[in-house]
Amino acid sequence: MAAKSKKKRVSKSESLQTAEIQAAIDYGIDVSMLISNIGRSCTERIIRHQIALNTAEKLRKARRL
Amino acid sequence: VSSDFLNLLERLVNAGVDFVVIGGFAGVVHGCTYVTQDIDICCDFSPATLLALQRAISDLHSVHRMTPKRKKLQLTEKTCGQFKNLYLDTDIGQLDCLSFIDGLGNYSQVKGKSELIEVEKMKVRVLSLDALIKAKKSMNRPRDKEAVLQLEAIKKLKSSQQDL
């Protein structure tokens, strides 16, 4: 039973390492950030995007001292 | 003034504009991690829809941002028929409105490939993950390469989670 459970866990983990995931990793995409985002609601994703965009806009307008 | 995409969406919904969120912002809704500086929608380009859209953003100094002198948005029932796309800049962000998407079709076809989501008690239509991947692939633009990779990874991760 324990062996069967372990085997099941391994296959679930391996199922994440598909061609699509590997292609994203190879391109330099942080897949852990995608996984975190999937766990969020649409509203949370939009709000976090807005925070990032506003920060980027502030940095773009910043002047050199 | 900072951009505020939620405010833009809220204005469109409250004005009764029938639309689908497409493009990079639809990717954000599905879970992409990049930052996009505009919001793209697909909508019916009937005079009624375009005039409702104009009313929704009438106090935001909206201009056609692709015209040389950034012409003010001043649609009338007669001039609405001249446009297939609107590329607007407003006080709270850029808003691109398309009547047709390569690889998907016109508004009613796009709407058929959308899903309804709830954002802060608003119901908003967003292009489905599969349709977004198809649209991005059909445009075949180098700048969309990362978006397509993220979207395909998200699709896989979501299906893997459903299997667990």
pTM of the model: 0.89
Interchain CB contact of A7 with B (< 8 Å)? no
Structure tokens belonging to residue B136: 């991005």
Q: What is the pLDDT of residues B83-132, one digit of tens each?
A: 999 999 999 999 999 999 999 999 999 999 999 999 988 999 999 999 99
Q: Residue B80 — very low, low, confident or very high, per pLDDT cuts 50/70/90?
A: very high
Q: Return d(Cα B72, Cα B106) in angstroms, integer.
A: 26
Closest residue of B to A10, CA-based?
A: B164
Flag if B157 and A57 touch (Cβ within 8 Å). no
Residue numbers in A near B36 (CB within 8 A): 49, 53
Spell out the residues 6+ positions from residue B67 whose beta carbon is closer than 8 angstroms to its own.
Answer: none
Q: Return d(Cα B77, Cα B51) in angstroms, integer.
A: 7
Tokens 């954002």 found at: B119
List alpha helices for B18-90, DSSP H: 23-30, 47-56
Q: What is the pLDDT of residues B55-68, one digit of tens each?
A: 999 999 999 999 99
One DSSP character per residue, A1-65 reads: -HHHHHHHHHHHHHHHS-HHHHHHHHHT--HHHHHHHHTS-HHHHHHHHHHHHHHHHHHHH----
CA distances from B150 to B21, B28, B116 (A): 18, 10, 21
Distance from CA of B92 to the nearest CA of A (A): 11
Interchain CB contact of B145 with A (< 8 Å)? yes
Interchain CB contact of B29 with A (< 8 Å)? yes
Are B16 and B48 in contact by the 8 Å Cβ rule? The answer is no
Flag if B3 and A30 touch (Cβ within 8 Å). no
Q: What is the pLDDT of residues A13-60, one digit of tens each?
A: 455 579 999 999 999 999 999 999 999 999 999 999 999 999 998 999
Interchain CB contact of B122 with A (< 8 Å)? no
pLDDT higher than 50, residue A10 = no
Are B73 and B63 in contact by the 8 Å Cβ rule? The answer is yes
Residue numbers in A near B158 (CB within 8 A): 38
Residue numbers in A near B6 (CB within 8 A): 46-47, 50
Interchain CB contact of A38 with B (< 8 Å)? yes
CA distances from A60 to A52, A64, B32 (A): 12, 11, 22
CB atoms within 10 A of CB A9: 10
Flag if B29 and A52 touch (Cβ within 8 Å). no
Q: What is the pLDDT of residues B24-43, one digit of tens each?
A: 999 999 999 999 999 999 99
